[in-house]
Amino acid sequence: MSMKMKLSLVSSLMVLLVIGSIITTLFFYDEKVLMDNQQDNQIVLFKSFVKICEDALLLDDTLVLLDFCSLVKQTNPSIIYILFQYAEGTVISAGDEQMVYFAINKLNSTGVKTPDGYLIRDVRGPRNERIVDLSMPIQLGNAVAGTAQMGFSSQVLENQLTSVLSSMRTTTLIVAFGAILLGIAASYLFAVHMIKPIKQLAEGAAKIGSGQLQHRIPVHSHDELGWLAGEFNTMGDKLLELDQMKNDFVSNVTHELRSPLGAIKSYSEVIDKSPELSPQTKSHLARIKSNVNRLSSFIDNLLDVSRIDQGKLSLAVGPVKLDLLATDVLKNFEEQARTQQIHLESRISSVLPPVLADKDKLDQILTNLVNNALKFTPAGGSVWIDAQEMSRSNAPHFSGRYIRVAVTDTGTGIAPNDIKRIFDKFEQARNQITEAHGTGLGLSIVKGLVEAHGGQIWINSRLGKGTTFYFTLKVPAQTPAGTQPAKGVGR
């Protein structure tokens, strides 16, 4: 699981816990608040009725009292009855007659008296329904003029409470669901925002580790991640400086070695011409010359790598006929191929257009690739060079006119893990055919030379089947298209 996903899940879980806690609290708190509010409304309504009763007594206006009772009963479904009973027995009421009769004659249960003088009773009606009864004696002067009384249906009150709670909880759940979605989205964006600099650090470290020492990680913040990015950049500067020092050292050392090696080679050739040398001395001298040539070749490779790395490689570019050059290169390997019992062949058509290249460098490319193919091809195998003109019709990803050159062998093939590193400096694939060892610079030089020509190089290989090295070279703009395409090779 990625760090971004982990951070998103943790943040989302925290959002869910917080919102869940809030919703749970609201569910229980809302019910209590609504019940208290409902009771307060009952008392307020009853207080209003008491005030109307007092005013009606002062004004001796029973019509006002009757109108108020009717209005309150019609507008409040929870009220079962509302009445005022004068001291002499007259009753002004609104509501079911049976319930009014019950309230006047049957209510004997005791209740709770409030500090304001109200009597609150929780009773059972004639049909066993629960009723909340509020009553209070009304005084006129020093005498009790009557009693105000109001009854509420507990069932209706509970239904109203349930309805309001249901509506509120539905709204709360909708809002909570929206909040959860927003929270999850915010958590994801937060995770992306937090992971982005870490991802940049990882990508930057990977690029620097792969040899792109010029790469620098952008610093967008002044926190710990910004500090870490700055340290990576400082490390990159130091590595680039060390790499430059290494290149300069290699370049200087190789240049310094060429002169004494040249002298050793020259004097060994002069000594070799002496007729007085014994066979044993000639054998020792031949060994010296062989090792001098090997060391000279290694120094030349190091110089080529240094020039490629520093961008100082000079090319004498011109039209080159691939078929002729390939034939010349293969002639240099005829004796080695005969010894190893390997068939060498050039399959490049003579009508193929010339390529735009440095002839010596292209010779070096083909020589390295053919030499590499011979190392990995067993007796009875084959190595051949082929080429094909590429255009938008058969290679849409290419622009302009290109020649694709292929050097193919029927050898052991290259393991997928080795293919990833095959062009790295000092890397060598495992050789099960011969015991010959190289410097590990040949393919790195080939890649650098191909790219210096503006081309690309890649590999197609299968273990036990063989390998094909492909690379591309440009065709001069004024060259007419070939009338006979070369036979392509690929697996």
| Domain residue spans of the chain | 3-161, 224-310, 317-474
Which pLDDT score, from 0 to 100, does residue 161 have? 77
User: Selecting from 3.30.2270.10, 1.10.238.10, 3.30.565.10, 3.40.50.11270, what CATH number does the domain 317-474 have?
Assistant: 3.30.565.10
pLDDT for position 358: 92
Q: What is the CA radius of gyration of the chain?
A: 50
pLDDT (tens digit, 9 = 90+) per residue, 459-480? 999 988 899 999 999 998 765 5
Tens of pLDDT, residues 290-347: 888 777 777 777 777 777 777 777 888 999 999 999 999 999 999 999 999 999 999 9
Tell which CATH classification among 3.40.50.2300, 3.20.20.150, 3.30.450.20, 3.40.50.720 matches the domain 3-161: 3.30.450.20
HSE, side-chain direction, 13 A CA sphere, residue 357: 27
What's the confidence (pLDDT) of residue 489?
33
For residue 304, the model assigns a pLDDT of 72
Q: Which residues of the chain have pLDDT under 70?
A: 1-8, 26-30, 107-109, 254-255, 391-400, 426-439, 478-491
Instruction: Kindly state the DSSP code that residue 401 receives in the 8-state scheme.
Output: -
Question: How much is the pLDDT for 482?
Answer: 46
What residues form DSSP beta bridges with 149? 83, 135
Q: Rounded to 5 degrees, what are φ and ψ at 259?
A: -65, -55
Q: Which residues of 150-189 are buried (b: 16+ CB within 10 A; e: fewer)?
A: bbbbbeebeeeeeeebeebbeebeeebeebbeebbeebbe
What's the pLDDT at 394?
52
Report the sign of the C-alpha dihedral through residues 13, 19, 25, 28, in that order: negative
Residue 321 has a pLDDT of 94
Q: What is the pLDDT of residues 61-99, one digit of tens each?
A: 889 889 999 998 888 888 989 999 898 888 888 888 888
Neighbouring residues of 213: CB distance < 8 A, sequence distance ≥ 6: 236, 239, 240, 243
Distance CA 427, CA 445 (A): 12
**Can you tell me the distance from the alpha carbon of 301 to that of 441, in angstroms, rounded to the nearest whole number?**
7
Q: Is the dihedral of CA 156, 162, 168, 170 positive or negative?
A: negative
Structure tokens at 330: 């293969």
Q: Which CATH number fits domain 224-310: 3.10.129.10, 1.10.150.20, 1.10.287.130, 1.10.150.120?
A: 1.10.287.130
Tokens of 18: 């917080």
What's residue 71's pLDDT?
A: 92
Which residue in this structure is represented by tokens 């190893």? 340
Three-class SS state of 88: coil
Position 436 scores a pLDDT of 47
